[in-house]
């Protein structure tokens, strides 16, 4: 049974994708991660985030993916600052940082993106001049 997207009364199922060969090394890593293999997790989590470039991703893409994780997890304000600074230092533009919010909206929802937007704006040096409570 394939997962689908629920749209009101209608269940829309994505078209099946032709299965492509997965590289043995990728399949092995996925299997080890799924089994929660301690050695693999330690190697992934033990490396400092600033220095860890995952295989297959350039520095900028890795930083933008990490920023997406920060947003999705509703992290502390200092973590937004860290994520945006890392993305900008890796060569991302302000527009690409904002595009992360746009890309995440259908996944994490408008409330999550709305609460993250002021933190991201502040981190890129943009004062939104929003009304404060009180």
CATH number at residue 81: 1.20.1290
In a domain, 130, yes or no: no
Angle between helices 110-123 and 77-89 (to 10 degrees): 60
In a domain, 109, yes or no: yes
In a domain, 104, yes or no: yes
Dump pLDDT digits (tens) for 5-62.
Answer: 444 445 555 666 666 777 788 888 878 877 767 777 677 766 555 455 677 889 999 9
In a domain, 67, yes or no: yes
Alpha-carbon distance of 59 to 123, in angstroms, equals: 19
Which residue range is the domain that position 20 belongs to? Answer: 5-50+57-123
Dump pLDDT digits (tens) for 101-110.
Answer: 999 999 999 8
In a domain, 134, yes or no: no
In a domain, 103, yes or no: yes
Q: How many domains does the chain have?
A: 1
The answer, as to whether pTM is greater than 0.75, is no
In a domain, 32, yes or no: yes
In a domain, 15, yes or no: yes
Contacting residues for 12 by C-beta, under 8 A, at least 6 apart: 4, 5, 6
Best mean pLDDT range from 22-26, 71-75, 124-128: 71-75
């Amino acid at each position: 049974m394939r997962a689908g997207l629920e749209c009101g009364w209608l269940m829309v199922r994505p078209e099946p994708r032709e299965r492509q060969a997965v590289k043995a090394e990728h399949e092995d890593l996925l299997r080890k991660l799924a089994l929660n293999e301690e050695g693999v997790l330690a190697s992934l989590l033990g490396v400092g985030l600033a220095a860890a470039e995952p295989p297959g991703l350039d520095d900028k893409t890795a930083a933008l993916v990490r920023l997406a994780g920060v947003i999705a997890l509703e992290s502390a304000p200092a973590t937004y600052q860290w994520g945006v600074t890392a993305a900008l230092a890796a060569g991302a533009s302000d527009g690409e940082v904002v595009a992360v919010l746009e890309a995440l909206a259908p996944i994490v929802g408008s409330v999550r993106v709305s609460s993250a937007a002021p933190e991201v704006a502040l981190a890129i040096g943009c004062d939104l001049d929003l009304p404060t409570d009180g």
